[in-house]
A and B are shown apart, each in its own frame.
Chain A
């Protein structure tokens, strides 16, 4: 069942937020953004409210469902409206960026395992993929010196962006392959392993790596893709 948004907002407006952070923050954000919570279950709903009331967080890091309302119905095909909807979504995502970065840095990415940060981004993509991809690009651009953020972004892309939209984010992955950090390079190769397209193969073929082990991994993937894509036209 979907969250009862008006009811949550009503309760949220009664809460006084104060600048403070602590370990319970993640838990609260997780509750706030997941749509999998059955809010008809009063225990679950109260638990979330309890988190909000007991563990306040910085007001400038907008996290309320009010600001990232991702379930708006798009009922117009007018290009101006679509652009406006995309810009609105992008603007809301930008507001969420500081919180996102903090969550990203705290997340332990394990091969093949999803986590709540990847779940949040998956929801954003499901709601408005182009605005979300644009936002992911901007987060990458703003954090070019932070290998933990770059690797985390790429791990999320590997988990959430599977087939069809690869080229929208390929420049970001290519930048990851050229990064000075091995951790970022590895995350970028993992994305290409999932995408398996001709363009991503070319990105991999035109990259160089910081260690023999990483090069060996990249060559393994290149060999597979060449065999797989042999005869496929650009």
Chain B
């Protein structure tokens, strides 16, 4: 199973943020994208393109404005080897159905080591494997939102007013 973790800044992961020390490893700023809450981290199950689109829409519904959504896909087997456990927890995104929200997962019981392993694994994916796999520009996100609206998959009454205004839906 693959799990997508959104990242907020390309600059935190692209290697340009240098820590000025001889033994420098991953920059501290990258850990800002792995900020836990109650020792958990939010991810979305993404087995195919539909899942990725669902995750991008769900993440956007929590925002005030349409903006880019970039994410890194994690292999749950690799996480398991690092003793990072995954729990099915319904996501929270106003305006989307339960079928999407049920694709949300939490990485749980994360401690100092587990967050470190995760950062190392994500950095490895970005620099040695596929780069940033999920790359939706603001325009692509907008197009996706329009598509979901057209297909009747969004409940506009439940959506954030600020986001609807930005999309010119209100």
0 or 1 for each of B12-41: is its CB under 8 Å from A? (1 = yes): 111111000000000000001000000000
Asked whether A186 is an interface residue with its Cβ less than 8 Å from the other chain, the reply is yes
Q: How many A-B residue pairs have CB under 8 A?
A: 76
Main secondary structure of the interface of B (DSSP, over half): loop
Q: Which residues of A contact B13 (CB under 8 A)?
A: 213
- What is the distance, in angstroms, from A189's C-beta to the closest C-beta of chain B? 9
Interface residue range, chain A: 20 to 34
> How many angstroms from the CA of A51 to the CA of B104 in the assembled complex?
39
**Contact at A112–B64, with CB atoms within 8 Å?**
yes
Selected interface stretch from A9-17, A60-68, A123-131, A215-223: A215-223
Q: Per a CB cutoff under 8 Å, which of B15, B16, B65, B137 touches A220?
A: B137
Selected interface stretch from A27-35, A99-107, A177-185: A177-185
Q: Per a CB cutoff under 8 Å, which of B11, B126, B132, B137 touches A183?
A: B11
> How many angstroms from the CA of A216 to the CA of B70 in the assembled complex?
12
**Contact at A214–B68, with CB atoms within 8 Å?**
no
Inter-chain pairs besides A213-B126, A228-B139, 20 sampled, C-beta below 8 Å: A110-B8, A111-B67, A111-B68, A112-B64, A112-B65, A112-B66, A112-B67, A114-B64, A159-B65, A181-B16, A186-B11, A190-B138, A193-B68, A193-B139, A211-B10, A211-B11, A211-B15, A212-B14, A213-B14, A221-B137
Q: Which residues of A contact B138 (CB under 8 A)?
A: 190, 193-194
